[in-house]
Amino acid sequence: MSFLRTTWALVAKDLAVERRTRESLNVMFIFSVMVVVILNFAFELRVENVGQVAPGALWVAFAFAGVLGLNRSLARERENGCLEGLMLAPVDRNAIFVAKAAANLLFMAGAEAIVLPLFTVLFGVNVLRPDLLIVLLLGTLGLAAVGTLLAALAVHTRARDVLLPILLLPVSVPLLIAAAKATGGLLDGAGLAGVAGWLQLLGVYDAVFVAVSYLLFEYVLEE
Amino acid sequence: MKTREWAGLALTGLSALAMMAAIYAALVYAPTERVMGALQRIFYFHVPVAVVAFLSFGVSFVASIGYLARGGRRWDQVAYAAAEIGEVFASLVILTGMMWARAAWNTWWTWDPRLTTTLVLWLIYAGYLILRGSVEDEIRRARYSAVVAILGFLDVPVVFMAIRWWRTIHPVVFDSSGVNLEPAMLSAFLISLAAFVILYVALLLARVRQESLADEVEFLRRRVQ
């Protein structure tokens, strides 16, 4: 099978599992809403203009919910012995990474799509803007790629899913800073040109870390 | 004793002497800074410790690449030892930095690029050490931690850039225009830097040797059983 067909078959498998169980999407969605609600309580008492903290709150919700979804997605593979099966099959190892990362990107984007309108209502800040799409895409891409790599090794340790946030969040610091800054700039009406620097940083982060995660993934799988 | 053990002992003695010289150079020999006064003397410890911390994480990064490319226990032992020592030095950088910040800027903490990058790095390698503690299988542990060490070290310049754009108030002593230091201060700094690098090499060698002795003990224990 060609690389693309293998990848597509693996993504379709993840989508089929998700369609039947709705495990990842439900959990990520509910968890993001919970983070938004809790942050709102935490801020409401002191922060005068909630709009000022909205970009940070949004990305905290996405990052935390993403950790849950990534853990679920890779733990499922381990529980069913699915990764071992895939490694026995004549399948390109890199296709496994691309497929898992793509599926995780889709799930995280799906959860974000449901959270955004709710966030607009709860925070009173309109985040349903077309120019925000590019920030969401770049930010989620980096999280999904590095997260897929780290989740694949975290689920095979004794600490299991506890390890993923500890490994993923510090590495994602530049991505979260850039994404929150770009989001804030767009909400303030700076326009895409006004946040070009942050978008560039997101692009550099994605280029470096997608490539490195892709290269390192085979060492995580190797048995 | 074997030659290697003698060499280790000699290096440890040398680092003790160098450290005494560094303390003398920093506290007595170097002139008092005009604006900051005696406070500035922490610079002679803070900066070399920071250099060694980053150097150590760099050693861990190279050894991790070596492990994935070549394999072999030794690469993993060096990567582990360097990450662990780097974490200790990073803690010292943060602590001495906080003391400086309290006295100079009247705050224990500022979200300055260098301080924040060091803190993020500290968190990454804390994760690395926790990861090592939670994998039983040796080969798997070596492979996983190499992946995390490579990812973590590549993150350093990106973290630094991101936070630099975000905000900065750190004093820049070394910039592209050269060194902004009095000659006597510079020599005190260099003596201190040399002392910390010698100490680092002594610690690294001792730690790697300890790891291989632990391996040997494990091997013998299995044979007895």
Give mean pLDDT, residues B18-34: 86
Q: Mention every residue, 6+ apart, whose C-beta is less than 8 A from residue B41.
A: B26, B27, B30, B33
| Residue A195: per-residue pLDDT | 86
- The count of other CB atoms within 10 Å of the CB of residue B86 is 28
B17 touches chain A (CB under 8 A): no
pLDDT at B171: 56
Please report residues of B whose CB lies closer than 8 A to that of A177. Answer: 162-163, 166
Residues of B in contact with A150 (CB under 8 A): 148, 151
- The confidence score (pLDDT) of residue A223 equals 63
What is the residue whose two structure tokens read 């930010």? Answer: A139
Q: What is the ipTM of this complex?
A: 0.89
Query: What would the pLDDT profile of A119-169 be if each residue is shown by its tens digit?
Result: 888 888 888 888 899 999 999 999 999 999 999 999 888 888 789 999 999
Residue B220 CB burial class (10 angstroms; 0-12, 13-18, ≥19): exposed
Output B178 or B96, whichever has higher pLDDT: B96
Per residue, what are the HEC states of chain A? CCHHHHHHHHHHHHHHHHHHHCHHHHHHHHHHHHHHHHHHHHHHCCCCCHHHCHHHHHHHHHHHHHHHHHHHHHHHHHHCCHHHHHHHCCCCHHHHHHHHHHHHHHHHHHHHHHHHHHHHHHHCCCCCCCCHHHHHHHHHHHHHHHHHHHHHHHCCCCCHHHHHHHHHHHHCHHHHHHHHHHHHHHHCCCHHHHCHHHHHHHHHHHHHHHHHHHHHHHHHHCC
Q: Quick check: B30 pLDDT over 60?
A: yes
Pure H helices in B73-112: 73-105
What are the φ and ψ backbone dihedral angles of B181, each rounded to 5 degrees? -140, 145
Most confident region among A112-121, A176-185, B58-67, B215-224 by mean pLDDT: B58-67
**Mean pLDDT calculated for residue range A47-66:** 86
Short-list A2, A157, A202, CA closest to A94: A2
Select from A83, A150, A157 the residue whose CB has the most chain B CBs within 10 Å, as the one to mutate to test that interface. A157
Which chain B residues contact residue A169 at CB under 8 A?
123
* Closest residue on chain B to A219 (Cα): B143
pLDDT the model gives residue B1: 60
User: Quick one: pLDDT at residue A143?
Assistant: 95
Residue B87's φ and ψ, nearest 5 degrees, are: -65, -40
Bridge partners (DSSP) listed for residue B178:
B175
Per-residue pLDDT averaged across A17-39, rounded? Answer: 88
| Average pLDDT across chain B, whole number | 87
| 8 Å CB contact between A216 and B150 | yes
Disruptive mutation site among B65, B151, B153 for chain A (greatest number of A CBs within 10 Å): B151
* pLDDT at B107 (0 to 100): 84
Of A157, A169, A213, the CB nearest to B134: A157
Q: Alpha-carbon distance B163 to B191, whole Å?
A: 31
Query: Would you list which residues of chain A are within 8 Å, Cβ to Cβ, of chain B?
Result: 146, 149-150, 153, 156-159, 163, 166-167, 169-171, 173-174, 177-178, 181, 197-198, 201, 204-205, 208-209, 212-213, 216, 219-220, 222
pLDDT greater at residue B222 or residue A41: B222
Query: What are the domain boundaries of chain A?
Result: 3-221
Tell whether the model's pLDDT for residue A211 goes beyond 80.
yes
Q: Which residue has the tokens 């902004």?
A: B180
A161-190, pLDDT tens digit by residue?
Answer: 789 999 999 999 999 999 999 999 898 888
The structure tokens listed for B122 are 């500290």
Handedness of CA B181, B184, B190, B195 (dihedral sign): negative
pLDDT digits over B165-178, tens only?
766 545 555 555 55
What pLDDT shows up at residue B177? 53
For B199, the 3-state DSSP assignment is: helix
- In chain A, what residues touch B136 (CB-CB under 8 Å)? 158
What are the tokens at A164? Answer: 């993923």
- d(C-alpha A118, C-alpha A212), whole Å: 35
Torsion (CA) A192, A197, A199, A204 in degrees, nearest 10: 160
List the single residue in A with minimal CA-CA distance to B129.
Answer: A167
B71 has a chain A CB within 8 A of its CB: no
* Residue B123 touches chain A, beta carbons under 8 Å: yes
Mean pLDDT confidence for B208-221: 90
Contacting residues of A for B79, CB less than 8 Å apart: none
Q: Which two tokens stand for residue B34?
A: 């005009």
* Helix or strand holding residue B130 (H, E): helix B113-133
Kindly calculate the radius of gyration of chain B based on its CA atoms and give it in whole angstroms. 20
Say which residues have a Cβ less than 8 Å from residue B12's Cβ, sequence separation at least 6.
B202, B206
- pLDDT tens digits, A93-102: 889 999 999 9
pLDDT classification of A88: cutoffs 50, 70, 90: confident
* Nearest beta carbon to residue A212 from set B131, B134, B151: B151
pLDDT at residue B2 tops 80: no
Domain ranges of chain B: 40-171+184-224
Name the burial class of residue A20, with classes exposed (0-12), middle (13-18) and buried (19+) by CB atoms within 10 angstroms of its CB.
Answer: exposed
Q: What's the rounded Cα separation, in Å, for the pair B3 and B1?
A: 7
CB atoms within 10 A of CB B35: 7
Contacts of B14 (CB under 8 A, 6+ apart): B198, B202
Q: What is the pTM of this model?
A: 0.88
Flag whether pLDDT at A30 surpasses 80: yes
Q: If we measure between CA atoms, which residue out of B155, B140, B154 comes closest to residue B68?
A: B140
Can you give the length of chain A in residues?
Answer: 223
Lowest mean pLDDT across A85-94, B68-77, B169-178, B196-205: B169-178
pLDDT of residue B167: 62
Query: What's residue B178's pLDDT?
Result: 55
Mean pLDDT of chain A: 88
Q: What is the pLDDT of residue B133?
A: 92
Compare B18 and B110 and report the one with higher pLDDT: B18
